[in-house]
Amino acid sequence: MTAPLRPMNLGEILDRTFQIYRSRFLVFAGIAALPALAMFGLHLAVSPWLHSPSTFLLTGRGGTFWNFAVSLGFYHVGSFLVLLLYPAQIHMTSTTSLGERSSIPTALRFSIARWRTYLWVASLKLFGGLVIPEILVMVVIVGLALIAVLMNISESDRSPVLLVIALPLIAGCVLFVWLGSCLSLAVPACALEDLSGFKSLRRSWTLSKDSRARIMVTWLMIFVFSSLLMYSLEWLFRWIFIDLFHGYAPGAAIQHLYLPSVYFLRAMISAITGPIYPIAITLFYYDQRIRLEGYDIERMMDAAGMNAPELSPTEDSPIASAAPEEVQQ
């Protein structure tokens, strides 16, 4: 899947993303299946507690808050696990796009070799791109709620109440997507340039300046596609288990069978759609380096042998012979 390195527009990057994915589908999906299966196991482990009778007693606002908190917690854990495997996906994308060969063990060894650095980068990226917007949203919501209380706004007047919650959530989503685009190239920079945590974030902030809109559009397209696919299949599963099996099995048996099936379905969809964004941001990383730094010219010069590697001085080299001799004590 070698292709000449050159600047690409958004459509070309998306086309190239799916070309690379199709060429090594089993390899990319196999790597993405690792965090997906980990989340599947986590869901099975905590499902009896999350769906215990005590949690079913939560209704109204309590139930809504509980479901939101659980979903948000799973999203944090899942995002962190996916970020830990990003270096392997990025390595596979890089080798495939540059005409080199790799495999799942090779990609995993590449990721394990600097696992402490990748763990730190994943933590920084999760905090900067997800936790910070959440904290800001909560601060704004609490502040607006206090203002509403001081102004004696009644709960029956739903317009101000909706504004207290809706506007901060919308602003938080926009901030989340924008910060995500700013920090999107941190893992590629860390993996392909051997940078440390904060240097990777600064490198991403610099490289992504001219492509943040394209990166945001790409992430939103993948997110919408994955969400529609997942919720459509979950609706189909719900219809099969509840409507078709309702007369053939007790409700408790259906529930115990339905939840693991849904969790496994989510794991499969995550494994299939998970590699798309890492492949895309790797291509964005190379695209920005080509546009800003002439990386394509650098690669051609390396291939032509015009960039000779630096040699360490030896005893017979001119540099070593010109060095002053050590004074014997």
pLDDT in the model for residue 323 = 44
d(CA 180, CA 134): 13
72-78: long-range contacts at Cβ-Cβ below 8 A with a sequence spacing of 24 or more? 72/134, 74/39, 74/42, 74/43, 76/126, 76/130, 77/39, 77/42, 78/35, 78/39, 78/270
pLDDT digits 0-9 by tens, 84-131: 999 999 999 999 888 888 889 999 999 999 999 999 999 999 998 888
Read off the pLDDT of each residue in 50-79 and give the average, rounded to a whole number: 67
pLDDT digits 0-9 by tens, 47-56: 766 655 444 4
Higher pLDDT, 309 or 296: 296
What is the phi/psi pair of residue 37, to 5°? -70, -35
- Of the listed ranges 13-22, 124-133, 239-248, the one predicted with least confidence: 239-248
Q: Which two tokens stand for residue 58?
A: 């939560």
d(CA 214, CA 197): 24
pLDDT at 326 > cutoff 50: no
What are the residue ranges spanned by the domains of the chain?
10-293
Residue 322 confidence class, pLDDT cut points 50, 70, 90: very low
pLDDT in the model for residue 295 = 79
pLDDT in the model for residue 248 = 52
pLDDT in the model for residue 48 = 66
Q: Which amino acid is it at 90?
A: I
